[in-house]
Structure 1
Amino acid sequence: MNDDTAGLLADPAEVRAILISSAQAGESITYSETLALLGHHFTRPKMRALCKVLAFVDDEAEKRGEPELAVLVVRQSDRLPGQGWWIGGAKKHGYTGQWEGPKAARLIRKLQQQAFAHWAGRDA
């Protein structure tokens, strides 16, 4: 890790690899599953710490002209991203609606499909 990533829960490259694998499979991944792959049990503080890594991963993806990946990490209950994504991610897409329900699900599916299409059959 470099100075930009010091103090993060996990190495952004490792998180990126997990998310690219998920995108290549055409599937979202839960916060709990992501944390488990990183060797952590799910706790709210760990989930919040993961969100900081996800933001870093997306910032780097944007610099490379790649679609965002954090949108693939979802709650198990409704398969939508949590509050952390909505605060920053939704604003970036001009979305101002509810963070749950059909409209939110449509936005998330659209963004996830972009990641799936980008990474299908492509190496990281």
Structure 2
Amino acid sequence: MSAAAGALADPEEVRAHLIAAAGARQSITYSELLGLLGHSFSRPKMRALCAVLTTVDEEAAARSEPELAVLVVRQSDGLPGQGWWVGCAAQHGYRGPWEGPSAKRVIKRLQARAFDYWQASR
């Protein structure tokens, strides 16, 4: 994990917020998550948060849990930002546009996995 990511938030704290969101079957915006972590929204903080999200998902994969970063979305359209699409979409076999109906379908499917898993784990 990068020093910037470590300075922004503890991955376990981020994970706890995302598991709570998943258990409630809700996505969370970058701004909302940053707020829960005690930060206001800024692009540099969002990028640092993305580094933490990568760590959270790497650790989830090691535990055979569904990814959680897919729950973090833009307020404008309810979809993850560019970093998620560049780093994660292809591993799910998705190579389409990052916006629009096909993007929303793939995100809803991946979010449903997390929702189902963490709701059942409650």
Scaled by the length of structure 2, what TM-score is found?
0.95
> Would you tell me which structure has more helix in proportion to its own residues?
2
Identity of aligned residues (%): 65
User: CA-to-partner distance for each residue in 1:2-55, whole Å, 9 max, x for gaps?
Assistant: xx4644221000000000000000000000000000000000110011000000
Change (3 A) 1:7 1:46: closer
Find the counterpart in structure 2 of residue 110 from structure 1: 109
User: CA-to-partner distance for each residue in 1:46-65, whole Å, 9 max, x for gaps?
Assistant: 00110000000000000000
Unaligned runs of 5+ in 2: none
**AA aligned opposite 1:61:** A
| Partner-residue secondary structure (3-state), 1:95 | coil
**AA aligned opposite 2:103:** A
Find the counterpart in structure 1 of residue 19 from structure 2: 20
Find the counterpart in structure 1 of residue 44 from structure 2: 45
When the two chains are superposed, the root-mean-square deviation of aligned CA atoms in Å is: 1.1
| Partner-residue secondary structure (3-state), 1:108 | helix
| Partner-residue secondary structure (3-state), 1:98 | coil
| Partner-residue secondary structure (3-state), 1:46 | helix
Is 2:83 aligned against 1:84?
yes
| Partner-residue secondary structure (3-state), 2:95 | coil
Scaled by the length of structure 1, what TM-score is found?
0.93
Find the counterpart in structure 2 of residue 66 from structure 1: 65
Unaligned runs of 5+ in 1: none
| Partner-residue secondary structure (3-state), 2:75 | coil
